[in-house]
Amino acid sequence: MNLLILVFIFVFSFSCFFFGKSQIKKIAAVNNFKTKALPHFYGFYLSLWCALPAILIVFLWTVFEPFIVKYLIISGLEQSSLADIDHDRLNLVYQKIKALYFGTYSGAASEQIQLGAKQYGSFLAMAQNAKIVLVFTAVIGFTLVAYKKITNNTHAREGVESIFKVVLILCSVVAVLTTAGIIFSLLIESIKFFSQINFFDFLFGLDWSPQKAFVRDTSIVLTASEKQELSNAFGAVPLFAGTGFIALIAMSVAVPIGLFSAIYLAEYAGSNLRKFGKPVIEVLAGIPTVVYGFFAALTVGPFIKSIGDTLGLDVSSESALAAGLVMGVMIIPFVSSLSDDVINAVPQSLREGSYALGATKSETIKQVVLPAALPGIIGSILLAVSRAIGETMIVVMAAGLAANLTINPLDSTTTITTQIVMILVGDQEFTSAKTQAAFALGLTLFVVTLILNFIALSVVNKYREKYD
């Protein structure tokens, strides 16, 4: 139904465009005046006023309709015999009513639920009719108002411009609000977590075994020693260490390869090779991370293990090394693409100045080009680090799950992101400390990557200003 309404709005607004455009020409000709803006602005003006308010109404209605219907049903139930039962039971009854109405209810329904389902149906129909009427009124009403304004020769161009501005503002507000919402939900759940677990035990504890918390019933009041024991199960240091360690392995692959290939592409490669080579490297960034995960778990991991076996080393089949190496390959394009850009931004005059003194190409690159591009290169590396820290799929598939505090790259280890996945996969109760730990970890990750990104961007920006 919504689709039909939207189609109607679009068709109507589309025809309004041509109507407005031709109408203003006629009016201008008849009344012998010069229009303030070009005719198509009048068309835009009319069609925007016709479509935007109506679309907004459809959107808001669709979002709020279920809540209102639910409220009506439940308040109806409360007035009838069920007045004394608690909120959760009422909710359950409401779900049953809904199920019956949509035909997914199994078993015999009580009379009350059947009555409720009937009511639910009538509310829905009513809501739909009301919506259609409202949308039609809005379309016709706003179009008429806008048409009236057109005939008065308002400044349609300014009108259109300000409408566009409003639309753009709305879109950016949505983006900002979403971010704020995500941070807010992270914060709320993390605060719940830290009300159970000591903040410093979490940040500095050396033992991560959240399954201990899972068997606890949260309604039981814990003794002090039990509380301490619970707190001790959430020491996140092994995760931080694992994350940092894998990121370190990844960077030690990505930085040299990425940087050197960027130098080659920017300084040595011919323009044809560069045109071809840069996109090819950037393809690496387009491969889905889950595919890298396969590669790490099925090819690189066993390969490292077999090499280790022939050397007589004890290699776990899921190792930090495998995950780190593959992750390094994944972030090569982040380093190389950005570094290539900043190396290219170094003014040619600096290179010529160096050549003119008799410096060779490699001397020029080492002593003039790279120092000049250094801030930008550091920025690109920091961005790559924050990418490596946040990467999930590869480590889930290739690094293992055991929270070992180790610096042996051949051992399995785990990261913040892996643990978040582990904690939230499957059925969970959202009041247990174990589940809430995921949010605390998420918040930590968010703060760290935010800081890294912030530093990286400010470094890059500072560099940009230098040559302007």
Q: Compare residues 99 and 370 and give the one whose CB is closer to another protein.
A: 370
Residues 6+ apart with CB under 8 A from 270: none
Task: Write 446-454 long-range contacts (CB < 8 A, 24+).
Answer: 446/183, 446/186, 448/386, 448/389, 449/386, 449/389, 449/390, 452/382, 452/383, 452/385, 452/386, 452/389, 453/382, 453/383, 453/386
Quick one: how many helices (H) and strands (E) in the chain?
A: 19, 0
Give the residue from 131, 86, 404, 373 showing the smallest Cα distance to 245: 404
Partners of 208 in the β-ladder:
234
Least Å from the CB of residue 355 to another protein? 6
Whose Cβ is closer to another protein: residue 77's or residue 346's? Answer: 346
Q: Which of 213, 247, 325, 372 binds another protein (CB under 8 A)?
A: 372
Instruction: Kindly state the smallest distance separating residue 269's Cβ from another protein, in Å.
Output: 12
4: amino acid identity, one letter: L
Q: Which is nearer to another protein, 127 or 359 (CB)?
A: 359
The single-letter DSSP state of residue 234 is B
Q: Does the footprint of another protein cover residue 347 (CB under 8 A)?
A: yes
Give the angle subtended at the CA of 453 by the CAs of 189 and 175, to the nearest 5°: 60
Q: Choose the stretch contacting another protein; rule: CB under 8 A; options: 96-104, 138-146, 302-310, 366-374.
A: 366-374
By CB under 8 A, tell whether 363 contacts another protein.
Answer: yes
Residues near 312 by Cβ (< 8 Å), separated by ≥ 6?
A: none
Q: Which of 96, 351, 387, 434 binds another protein (CB under 8 A)?
A: 351
Helix residue spans in 216-270 (DSSP H): 224-232, 237-263
In the block, tokens 């500072």 appear at: 462
Q: Which of these segments, 33-41, 97-105, 351-359, 417-425, binds another protein (CB under 8 A)?
A: 351-359
Under DSSP, the state recorded for 82 is G
Stretch that binds another protein, among 181-189, 290-298, 327-335, 368-376 (CB under 8 A): 368-376
Among 276, 353, 447, 458, binds another protein (CB under 8 A): 353
* 358 is a site residue for another protein (CB under 8 A): yes
Structure tokens at 37: 């803006």
Judged by CB, which is closer to another protein: 270, or 286? 270
**Count of residues engaged in binding another protein, rule: CB under 8 A:** 21
Contact call for residue 343 and another protein (CB under 8 A): no
Q: How far is the CB of 461 from another protein (least distance, A)?
A: 17
Binding of another protein at residue 365 (CB under 8 A)?
A: no
Q: Which residue lies nearer to another protein by CB, 279 or 353? A: 353
Give the nearest distance from C-beta 268 to another protein in angstroms: 12
Q: Minimum distance between the CB of residue 383 and another protein, rounded to whole angstroms?
A: 22
CB 50 within 8 A of CB 139: yes
φ, ψ for residue 208 (rounded to 5)? Answer: -115, 105
Measured CA to CA, the distance from residue 284 to residue 298 in angstroms comes to 19
Q: CA of 334: how far to CAs of 338, 377, 379, 384, in Å? A: 6, 11, 11, 6
Span from 309-317, 337-345, 348-356, 396-404 in contact with another protein (CB under 8 A): 348-356
Query: What is the SS3 assignment for 106?
Result: coil
- Give backbone dihedrals phi and psi of 13, rounded to 5 degrees, phi first: -70, -35
Triad 233, 235, 238: Cα angle to 5°: 120
Give yes or no for residue 51 binding another protein (CB under 8 A): no
96 binds another protein (CB under 8 A): no
User: Least distance in Å: CB of 412 to another protein?
Assistant: 45
Question: What stretches of 339-398 adopt beta strand conformation (E)?
Answer: none
Q: Does 368 bind another protein (CB under 8 A)?
A: yes
- As a whole number of angstroms, the distance between CA 420 and CA 307 comes to 31
229 versus 363: smaller Cβ distance to another protein: 363
* Residue 352 near another protein by CB under 8 A: yes
Q: In the set 349, 425, 426, 465, which binds another protein (CB under 8 A)?
A: 349
Q: Is 115 in the site for another protein (CB under 8 A)?
A: no
Instruction: For the segment 257-286, give every residue that binds another protein (CB under 8 A).
Output: 270-271
Measuring CA to CA, how many Å separate 323 from each of 148, 263, 302? 66, 26, 12
CB atoms near residue 426 (< 10 Å): 6
d(C-alpha 4, C-alpha 135), whole Å: 12
Give the x/- contact pattern for another protein in 301-330, rule: CB under 8 A: ------------------------------
Question: What's the min distance (Å) between Cβ of 341 and another protein?
Answer: 17
362 interacts with another protein by CB under 8 A: no
Shortest CB 360 distance to another protein, Å: 6
CB of 381 to another protein, least distance (A): 19
Of 135 and 373, CB closest to another protein: 373
From the CB of 460, what's the least distance to another protein, in Å?
Answer: 16
> Which positions lie near another protein, rule CB under 8 A?
270-271, 347, 349-360, 363, 367-368, 371-372, 466
